[in-house]
Structure 1
Amino acid sequence: MSALDGLEVRRTTTAQQLADGLSERIMAGAFGPGDRLRESAIAAELGVARNTIREAVRILELTGLVRYEVNRGAVVIAPTPENVEALYTARERLETAAAARTPRPGQLEAITAAFGELVEAAETGDTGKIVDRDLAFHQAIVALLDSSRLDAFYAEMTKELRFFLTVLSKSETPEQVVAEHEVILNAIKEGDRDRAVAEIRAHIDTNAQRLKEMLGERR
Structure 2
Amino acid sequence: MSALEGLAVRRTTTAQQLADGLSERIMAGAFGPGDRLRESAIAAELGVARNTIREAVRILELTGLVRYEVNRGAVVIAPTRETVEALYTARERLETAAIARTPSPAQLEAITDAFASLEQAARTGDAGLVIDRDLAFHQAIVGLLDSTRLSEFFAGLTKELRFYLAVLSKSETPDEVVAEHRLILDAIRGGDRERAVAEIRAHVETSVRRLSELL
* TM band (smaller chain): over 0.9
Alignment of 1:49 onto 2:49: yes
Q: Give the drift of 1:6.
A: 3.5
Distance 1:2 1:116 in 2: 44
Q: Return the letter of the residue paired with 1:143.
A: G
Distance 1:153 1:3 in 2: 29
Alignment of 1:144 onto 2:155: no
Q: Return the letter of the residue paired with 2:115.
A: F
Distance 1:31 1:214 in 2: 16
Q: Return the letter of the residue paired with 2:105.
A: P
Equivalent residue for 1:159? 159
Q: TM-score, normalised by structure 1?
A: 0.95
Equivalent residue for 1:105? 105
1:99-118 alpha-carbon deviations (Å, 9 max, x no partner): 10000011101000000010
Secondary structure at the aligned position of 1:171 is classed as coil
Deviates most, 44-53 or 154-163: 44-53
Secondary structure at the aligned position of 2:75 is classed as strand
Q: Give the drift of 1:51.
A: 1.2
Equivalent residue for 1:71? 71
Distance 1:176 1:2 in 2: 54
Question: How many aligned positions are there?
Answer: 215
Distance 2:158 2:177 in 1: 17
Q: Give the drift of 1:10.
A: 1.5
Secondary structure at the aligned position of 2:102 is classed as coil
Secondary structure at the aligned position of 2:169 is classed as helix
Q: Return the letter of the residue paired with 1:66.
A: V
Equivalent residue for 2:126? 126
Q: Give the drift of 1:46.
A: 1.0
Alignment of 1:1-219 (within 5 A): 2=2, 4-215=4-215
Secondary structure at the aligned position of 1:35 is classed as coil
Q: Give the drift of 1:210.
A: 1.1
Q: Give the drift of 1:188.
A: 0.4
Structure 1 unaligned regions, length at least 5: none
Distance 1:164 1:207 in 2: 9
Distance 2:132 2:211 in 1: 18
